[in-house]
Chains A and B, each alone.
Chain A
Amino acid sequence: MKSKFIKWLSLPYIIWAIGFIIIPLLMVFYFGLTDKNSHFTISNVLAIFQPIHIKSLLIALLLSLISTIICLLISYPLAMILSSFKKGNDKMMILIFILPMWMNFLLRTLAWQTLLENEGIINTVLSLVKLPSINIINTPYAIILGMIYNFLPFMVLPIYNVLCKIDGNLLNASRDLGANEIQTFCKITLPLSVPGIISGITMVFVPALTTFVISDLLGGSKILLIGNVIEQEFTLNSNWHLGSGLSIVLMIFIVISMLISAIFDKDGEGNTF
């Protein structure tokens, strides 16, 4: 009886999943593995090895990797500070922290554009106080900055989550057995927070790898990431076959990083939401 009821309850989600996940996915595979005459081909996938495509893939990998590492370096200490707040106060801090996420993603990135422009707000202020201006708009640095700004909360939250769950008595036990603060961190805190770190890495790396909005707005049209190439195939060139083929390549990378994450995070401890 009960299980039947549950089955019915899940129906809307199943319809949703079929309509908006399964079918589009199948379509990507269909277009990616066929040519204009609907004949099977893997040339769309192999097109990744064309110099322009492989270059954009490598740049995307590099930039998202750098952003992920910087996010991790910022997030870990931040999450430690947040988790050391007393219960009650920490919720407020977290709220302040995720507040920017309530704004539209595009809007936030556009804001950075106006801030960073050569005659933008930051440079205006800098020139007012007679400091040299910074010209990073339309460079990889601006893209990295945009990625970090947009995806940082996705790194902080899972790490914060696992840190909060670490029993204070474990740390006390470690100190009790003669470990100083650094040893306690290396031997207890860090290993126990690995699931959160891995989860954070995937949650930053995957969207950073696939983004085209950030590179569009902050990189000008000078720097093409693999996301931009795919987007252009769909929009400008209307070549859905090539776009889908390249998407499949990207998916392989995403699946790999998801698998890595699943191996480390068997218990779902790093889940944030």
Chain B
Amino acid sequence: MSNKLINLENISKSYDNHLVLDEMNLYIRENEFVTLLGPSGCGKTTTLRIIGGFETPDTGRVVFDGQDITRLPAYKRPLNTVFQKYALFSHMSIAENIAFGLKIKNKSKSYIDDKIKYALKLVNLEGYEHRMPDSLSGGQQQRIAIARAIVNEPKVLLLDEPLGALDLKLRQDMQYELIRLKNELGITFIYVTHDQEEALTMSDTIVVMNQGYIQQIGTPEMIYNEPENAFVADFIGDSNIIDSVFIQDELVQILGVKFPCVDKGFGNNKPVDVVIRPEDVELVAPEEGLLQGEVSHIIFKGVHYEMEVMANGFEWLVHSTRMFPVGTKVGIKVDPFNIQIMNKPASEDEEAVAVEE
């Protein structure tokens, strides 16, 4: 793979004695689409602000292309940011907004005019040059914010929940548009969101964060299929997380029943967390299942039915295209490779530290 473009080394940051980032280590490769994903307040924006140069870390270094830029002021950094709330200049027209960075760099007028045209075309807002930001819809303002950033041809584009304020349809359109932009421009994207679906759709790499710690770094498939701990499993999509005992290699006891699995090396008779995705739970006739239960709840979700099945004292979340009315006695089956085993954290803190290594 290509080289590390940005390297965050041991970054810590606290506000008023409240630790927001703790010894964070992260590298970003050239041309990668990296998403920082995590619940509100976990430090995503803070991380982005440190990379962008709007905040200095208490400890650690930010290295860009081999150069330490920790103390470099924002205006000298070769990256551009799309802010969470657009931050368009309300006293300037759309064209002036887009031209802002280019004028600072003393580009020629014809160059700037060409760039404005090109950028507006890229974000599908041709002919908007003379409008004022206030007269644009949220989605249009967002696209202008993106246009304003990309005309500067940054090596890296930082985007802080750029689609947060948009409705579902526009969001999906914009997701495709952003991916198209990224491919067309060939720049590195660092993207912040708390929407797991968005992260899964768009990213090459997802960085799952919680309370200032990185929980897991991996491709969308890895994060979804092989969450390293209960937090990641819970945060990425719906899942059944069950207290279990790892009997021996390839055998785990879930809710008192032995299930064959594919994992090895978790020890013998060790308490573990098991993650089973709702779409991986198979409902069959009671006598065919390893577990027996009763459907307690059902909702139609369009593509599938979402059901809750009470079995051995645990409420299983099940997605299935087949409908089982409430009260139906069912059996539960899970394919061995759909059972994901995770070590139990010894304590809250250790959970995070253990994952970091």
User: What residues make up the interface of A, taking CB atoms closer than 8 Å to B?
Assistant: 167, 169-170, 172-180, 183, 187-188, 191-192
Contact = CB atoms under 8 A, between A and B. Distances in A.
Contacts of B52: 172, 176
A172 to B, nearest CB: 5
Contacts, number: 58
Interface in B177-201: none
Interface of B: 52-54, 73-75, 80-81, 83-85, 87-91, 100-101, 104-105, 148-149, 152
A228 B148 CA distance: 57
Q: Which 8 A-B pairs have the closest CB atoms?
A: A177-B101, A173-B87, A169-B87, A175-B74, A178-B104, A175-B75, A176-B81, A169-B83
15 contacts: A172-B81, A173-B81, A173-B88, A175-B74, A176-B53, A176-B54, A176-B149, A177-B149, A177-B152, A178-B104, A178-B105, A179-B75, A180-B73, A183-B104, A188-B89
Contacts of A187: 100
A156 to B, nearest CB: 22
B116 to A, nearest CB: 14
A176 B86 CA distance: 13
B74 A172 contact: yes
Nearest to B154: A176
B152 A172 contact: no
B83 A191 contact: no
A178 B89 contact: no
Contacts of B152: 177-178
Contacts of B104: 177-179, 183
User: Which among B84, B88, B90, B104 has the greatest number of chain A C-beta atoms within 10 A?
Assistant: B104
A191 B91 CA distance: 7
Contacts of A192: 90-91
B85 A175 contact: no
Contacts of B73: 175, 180
Contact of A172 (B87, B100, B148): B87
B126 to A, nearest CB: 22
Contacts of A180: 73, 75
A173 B86 CA distance: 9
A170 to B, nearest CB: 5
A175 B101 CA distance: 9
A210 B84 CA distance: 49
Given A175-B54, A188-B89, 15 more contacts: A169-B87, A172-B54, A172-B74, A172-B87, A175-B73, A175-B74, A176-B52, A177-B104, A178-B101, A178-B105, A179-B75, A183-B104, A191-B91, A192-B90, A192-B91
Contacts of A177: 75, 80, 100-101, 104, 148-149, 152
A55 B52 CA distance: 59
A173 B85 CA distance: 11
Contact of A176 (B75, B84, B85, B89): B75
A254 to B, nearest CB: 28
A179 B80 CA distance: 12
Given A167-B85, A169-B85, A183-B104, A176 B91 contact: no
A178 B85 CA distance: 19
